[in-house]
Structure 1
Amino acid sequence: MSLRHQYNSSKGLVKRRTNYGLRAKWLTLCIILFAIELVIVYFRIHDVILVISLHLNIKLDWIRGLETNCDAASDQNLFNYANPLLPTGEDTSPIPLCPDSPPYLLGKQDLGNENEDVDMNSLIKNYTHVQAGGRYQPKECTARHKVAIIVPHRNRERHLRQFLRAIHPMMERQQADYGVFVIHQTGTGTFNKAKLLNIGYTEALKEDNYDCFIFHDVDLLAEDDRNLYRCADVPRHLSVGIDKWDYQLPYDALFGGVIAMTKEQFNRVNGYSNEYWGWGAEDDDMYVRILHSCLGLERAQYDVAKYRMAYHPSDKSNRVNPYRYTLLVGAAERQRRDGLNNLHYSVVDNKRMPLYTNITADVGKPPLNPKTNSFGNGIDIVVSISLLVLMLTMTCCTCVKSRLPHVLLCPRRIP
C-alpha cells in the first residue's frame, strides 16, 4: 500500500471517528418536542403538581414568598384592617363578664346515633331557651363575644337537624351570646360554598353587631364542648381532628371545616373567594389569603378539637371544581378584587325559624361551563402524565438522533 493510500485511509478513519456534529433536522425536532412538554406541564398538570406539593407539606415558592413578605408588609393596611378589639375584662354592664373558662362544660359530648334521624318538633320543645332565629344569650353574665355561626346548606336537612341538636346545648354551656344562620342556596345550579359563607357574614351583620364568626360545615359535629367557639387575635382552626381522617390533620395548609374569625380579620382577607363553583380548594384559598394578609393562624387544642363527620352521598350539583387548582395558584394576586368587595347575590327569603335564621339566596351562575368536570380527576391526571412520559421518550430519541449527547460528552476533535 502506497504512502498516499495509507494517508487517505488514515484521514478517512479520522473523519469517521471525529464526525460528532449536530444533525440539524433532529435537533430542531428535539427543541419542538421539548417546547410541547413545557406546554403540557404548564397547562395540564402544572397546577396539580403545585397543589399536591402543598398538600404534602412541601413549602412552595409562592407560599414561602407570602410568608417572607409579611415583615415588609406589616405596616400596610391592605383591606381597611383594624386590630381586633377583644374583651379586656372591663365591663360597664351591671351583669358581670362571663368567666374565661365556662363552669358548665361536660367535655366529651353524646352525639347520638348518626343513622337515627332527629325530629325537629322535639328539638323545638326541648330547646325552649333558644329564641326565634336561633338566638341565645346567657342571663347570669355578659358573654365575652357576640358570635354568629354561619352554615352553608342545600338539600342536607337531616344533617342540619343533627347539627342543631348538637350545637345549641354546647353553646349554652359555653355561655355564648350567639345566633345560628343557615345560608341556603336556591335552585339546583352548581353549589358555591365560599360565596354562601360571604353572604352569611354580610346578612348576619344586618341582624346584629357580631364581632366573631364561626364558619361551620353542616356535617361536622363537635365531640367535646371544651373546644370553645370563640375568636382570638388570629384566625383559629377549630376542626383539627376529624374521624374521617383518623383525627389527624391531612396536610398543614388545611384551614376548613370549622374556623373562627373576627369581623376585622374577615374584612382584612376580603372574605372568601367567590370563584369556587363546585367542590374543592376554597378552604385552601382562605389559607393563602390569611398568609398574604400576614395575619397568622392558630389551631385549637388537639385533644378537644375533635369532630365527627356525618356520612353523605355525593351531591351531583356539587361536583369537583375543574378549575380549582388554577384558581388556587392565583389566590394571592386575585385577593384584592375577589371576595367581599365584589359579592353579588339576591336574598330570596329571610325567615326566623325557631332554632335558626334561614336565609335563602340566589348566588347566580358560574362564569365557566358547569358541565366541564373532567379536568383534575384521576383519569385526567393519568392521561396528562402518560402524555408527558411519551413526549419525554420521543425527546430522548430525537436527542440521540441529533447527536446532542455526543457533542456534549465528546467534544469535536480536530484532525
Structure 2
Amino acid sequence: MTTTDRRLHIVVPYRDRAAHLRDFVPRVGAYFATLADPIDYRVTIVEQEAGLPFNRGAIKNVGFLLGEAESGYTCLHDIDYLPVDADYSWVDRPTPILSFGAERRPVAPGRSDQTVTTDLESTMGGVLLMPNDVFRRIDGYSNAYWGWGYEDFDLSLRIRSRRIPTARRPGRFEPLDHDNEGFNPDASASAISRVNKRVFQANWAGGTLPEEDGLSSLSFEILDRRPCDGVDPAAAGRWEIVRVRLTMAPLPGQLAAFKAR
C-alpha cells in the first residue's frame, strides 16, 4: 500500500454547535497526538450554511469528496462524540467504532427527563470507518434526508444491498448532550423524523439501492475555508473548516416540518 492508502480523513458534519466544536477540536487532536502507533490523519469540518434544513448525509458526502484524493479511508465522525479509547487505524470494510458511552441520550437536556436508547452494536452511525473504494461503491450517503434522521439506516441498507462485509471495533466515547431533533420533549417522534421515515420507506420500497442518489447526484458550492481554533500548532495543517452551500432542495414536507419546529 502507498502512504496515501493508509492516510485517514476524518469528516465532521457541522452546523450551530460552537460549544461542541470547542470541545471536539482539542480533544481529538490530543487523542491522536498520544497514540502509541501514530496515524497520518486530516480533519475536515464541513459546515452547512444557514437557511435550509441540515442534511447530514449530503454534508458527509461533501467531506468525503474534499479528502478522497489524499486518503485511503474515511472516518465519518459526529461532533458530539469524543474518543476515550478507540481504534482509528486502517480498515478494509465498513467498521463502526462507537460501542460504549452513548447508549442512552437525553432528548432535551434541561427541559425534559426523557431519554432515547440506541443499540450501538447494530448502528452504522456516530463514528464509522470506511475504505474510500467501498464508499464509492455504495455511492456514499443518500442526499434525501433533510432535517433529521434515517441517513444512517439508509447507509446500512446500501452496504447490505451490495453484500459488502462489515466489522465492528469496541470503542468508548464521551457523548456531548444536545437537543435531539428526532424527538419531541416527551420522546415522541418529531415531525421531521416522521417525514424522513416516509422518505426512507419510499426509497427502499423496491428493495434495491436507489439510483442517482448520493455522491453521483451531490450538488454544492464551497463558500469559504478557514483554519480551526483550538488546534495544537504542531497539528495546525491537519485541520480545516469548509463552509458549503448545498444546491439541492428538500421536499416540501421536509421544509414545512423544519419551519414548524
- The TM tier, using the shorter chain, reads 0.7 to 0.9
1:296 has 2:157 as partner: no
- What amino acid does structure 1 have at the position aligned with 2:58? K
Please show how residues 235-384 of structure 1 align to structure 2 within 5 Å: 235-245=94-104, 250=119, 253-301=122-170, 305-314=171-180, 320-329=192-201, 330-331=203-204, 332-353=207-228, 355=231, 356-364=239-247, 365-373=249-257
TM-score by length of 1: 0.50
* Structure 1 residues 290 and 369: CA distance shift in structure 2, 3 A: same
Distance 2:4 2:65 in 1: 22
- What amino acid does structure 1 have at the position aligned with 2:194? P
- What amino acid does structure 2 have at the position aligned with 1:221? L
Please show how residues 215-226 of structure 1 align to structure 2 within 5 Å: 215-224=76-85
Secondary structure of 2:24's partner? helix
Please show how residues 8-407 of structure 1 align to structure 2 within 5 Å: 87=1, 145-174=6-35, 175-205=38-68, 208-224=69-85, 227-245=86-104, 250=119, 253-301=122-170, 305-314=171-180, 320-329=192-201, 330-331=203-204, 332-353=207-228, 355=231, 356-364=239-247, 365-373=249-257
Q: 1:252 offset after TM fit, Å? A: 5.4
C-alpha root-mean-square deviation of aligned residues, in Å? 2.6
Q: 1:209 offset after TM fit, Å? A: 1.7
Distance 2:50 2:224 in 1: 13
Q: 1:337 offset after TM fit, Å? A: 1.6
The answer to whether the 8 Å contact 2:76/2:127 transfers is yes
Q: 1:162 offset after TM fit, Å? A: 0.6
Distance 1:334 1:183 in 2: 26
Distance 1:270 1:336 in 2: 9
Distance 1:367 1:320 in 2: 11
- What amino acid does structure 2 have at the position aligned with 1:273? S
Secondary structure of 1:320's partner? helix
Compare CA radii of gyration and give the structure with the larger one.
1
Q: Deviations over 1:329-349 (max 9, x none)?
A: 334534332110111111111
Distance 1:252 1:220 in 2: 16
State the number of aligned residues.
226
Secondary structure of 1:321's partner? helix
Secondary structure of 1:323's partner? helix
The answer to whether the 8 Å contact 1:244/1:308 transfers is no
In structure 2, what is the equivalent of residue 127 of structure 1? none
- What amino acid does structure 2 have at the position aligned with 1:203? L
In structure 2, what is the equivalent of residue 41 of structure 1? none
Q: Deviations over 1:158-217 (max 9, x none)?
A: 101111121112112330111110000101321100000000001123xx5211100000
Gaps of 5+ in 1: 1-86, 92-141, 375-415
TM-score by length of 2: 0.78
Higher helix share: 1
Distance 2:63 2:208 in 1: 25
- What amino acid does structure 2 have at the position aligned with 1:363? L
Gaps of 5+ in 2: 106-116, 183-189, 232-238
The answer to whether the 8 Å contact 2:12/2:46 transfers is yes
The answer to whether the 8 Å contact 1:215/1:260 transfers is yes
Distance 1:153 1:319 in 2: 22
Report percent identity of matched pairs. Answer: 24
Distance 1:326 1:213 in 2: 29
Higher strand share: 2
- Larger deviation, residues 307-316 vs 173-182: 307-316
